[in-house]
Amino acid sequence: MLVARRHTRTSTPWLLLLLYLLLPNAWATTLLNDTSTAQDLYETADFLLDANASLSLDQVRAADAAFTPANTRRDLSFGYISGVVWLRLNLQSNAERLLHWRLELNYASLDEVRLYDIGADGVRESRSGDTVPYAERAIGHRYPVFEIVLQPGEQRTLYLRADSLGSMTLSGMLMSERDFEQHSQNGYLAHAIYCGVLIALGLYNLLLFLALRERPFLNYVLFMVAFALAVLSLNGLGAQYLWPQAAPWSNRMLPVSLTMAALLSAVFARSFLGTRQWLPRWDRVLQVLCLASALAVVATLLLPVQRALQTMSATGLIVTLMLLITSFVCIGYRVPGARLFALAWLLLLSGAVALALRNFALVPSNFFTLYAMQIGSGLEMILLSFALAARFNAHKRQREAALQDSERTLEKRVTERTEALEQANQRLRQLALEDPLTGLANRNALQQQLDQALKRGLRSHAPVAVMLIDLDGFKSINDQYGHAFGDLVLAQVAQRLRQYLREMDLPARLGGDEFVAICEHLPSAADALQLAKRLLEGLDTPMYIESRSVRVGASIGIAMSHRADDVTSLIRRADAAMYQAKAEGRNRICLANAPTQGPGQPGSGLG
């Protein structure tokens, strides 16, 4: 009995295999067990094109012979086509326990996918797709996913009816429940990282815009928002998390958002590259491109979805190519940031071209072509952030340079104002210490300078000579020719005082026709008399003013300082000597006596 049972167990698999080989269409049946790996639909499914979308399930089952193995095509990407596509899979379990498998189509933009799971218990129907509300999907997932349950030894036939106005991409996998969970988690993790990078970059550049108020940062954030919506729609995450109940809108969200992203990318390029400043003619081309992109956005809202998707692909490709050419032109003109911009858009262009070619079924559908836009855009976003960061640093350096220039300008202005103020103060001091008519020192300056000269004389034990000069005959000139002419005579007298006195001597005007000269470093009274004589001779020389010849004389009183002298006493003694000179006949010099003889006493005279 035991031997018979062993024989039965040994022969059962062979009988199943023989039965499998003898069944009709047995070559298309996929055997599944506990250790089976994931099955690619390209290797296991057959397809049938229903151009008019008119076949029912019964008609399709009756037309089994019309199905074609999928591996006779390059892949299961049919591009933009009319009608629907049917896929058929024959499955059989050779496991000894219940099997739970998942059938996933890894393209979220399929409008509606219906699964007809046919077995001995009848037909199990379920549906999914981006036009199906999330709550009504067979399994809650961003992709169309269906549950396949197989009893031990059970054979089932799966019919998938795919209907989509977009690109008909039916690549997918049949995998065990455990493998699907791991595969799904990895996919969600990758998209979470991608979206996290977009959010971080968007917030970073938004903060930069709020801080700097520069339009390129805002345009970049708007571009990222539109592009993020397109990516969320493309990957099915938008329909799962953002608009789970807006099924009809979900079908149109991808072309609208991606075309809007193309428009905003052109706007961003104009502001970032500064084409209005650097390339005015090329900027007009970009303006036309922006206008055309705006019209394309409107078209994606109004056209049928399939035409809208085709418009999206064409617009994205054209805009990306034009911006890449623009960046190369800007590199030639040495526009700041153009190199990083060109590299960023080259990466995005590669992704856009790969996705567009896949959508038109011109290249195989695989991981790279399916996620080319995300890969290229992720790298592009990072590079553009680097470019904006470089722009921020350049802006910071410009602000610092401008601040330094402002500080230097302010410092220069402060210096100029200080110098002007100092000059004004000096001018005021000069006006306070200078006679406005003759330019000589006035009475205040005379007292200050004489006081300092006396102090220097005490330190050096050298006398200071003070000459008090009163003009002779000036009153008659003033009365005859007028005060204006008299002022010219006084100015001429002042000029002669400067001419005949030494450079170190200080001439001053007391007022009227009285002048004073402070003379230091005269060894003796004889030297003072000699200097006064030279001055008297110079003053006695005729003056030619306004075609008139006039002549004035002078009475000069000299006082030599001694220790007991101060400013007042010294001038008083010189004044007394001057009056003595006038009393002796004018136009002469008189030397005052020393203070021991009493101030104001007459001294020696010199005619």
3-state percent helix, strand, coil for the chain, nearest multiple of 5: 60, 20, 25
Please report the DSSP string for 518-578 in residue order. Answer: EE----SHHHHHHHHHHHHHHHTS-EEETTEEE--EEEEEEEE--TT--HHHHHHHHHHHH
Contacts of 251 (CB under 8 A, 6+ apart): 111, 130, 131, 165, 166, 305
Q: Is 398 left (phi over 0), alpha (psi -120 to 50) or beta?
A: alpha
What are the two backbone dihedrals, phi and then psi, of residue 41, each rounded to the nearest 5 degrees?
A: -60, -30
What are the two backbone dihedrals, phi and then psi, of residue 131, each rounded to the nearest 5 degrees?
A: -95, 0
Instruction: Say which amino acid occupies 75.
Output: D
CA–CA gap between residue 32 and residue 89 (Å, rounded): 12
CA-based nearest residue to 142, from 242, 236, 258: 236
Instruction: Say which amino acid occupies 304.
Output: P
CA–CA gap between residue 138 and residue 125 (Å, rounded): 9
Three-state SS string over 459-507 comes to: HHCCCCEEEEEEEECHHHHHHHHCHHHHHHHHHHHHHHHHHHCCCCCEE
CA torsion angle 346 347 348 352 (round to 10): 90
Say if residues 96 and 379 touch (Cβ distance below 8 Å): no
CA–CA gap between residue 40 and residue 512 (Å, rounded): 122
Which token pair is 406? 């402002």
* Host H or E run for residue 235: none
Report the catalytic residues: 513
Rounded to 5 degrees, what angle do the CA atoms 82, 87, 91 make?
175
Which residues are registered as beta bridge partners of 157? 90, 118
CA–CA gap between residue 303 and residue 263 (Å, rounded): 18
Which token pair is 290? 């922006």
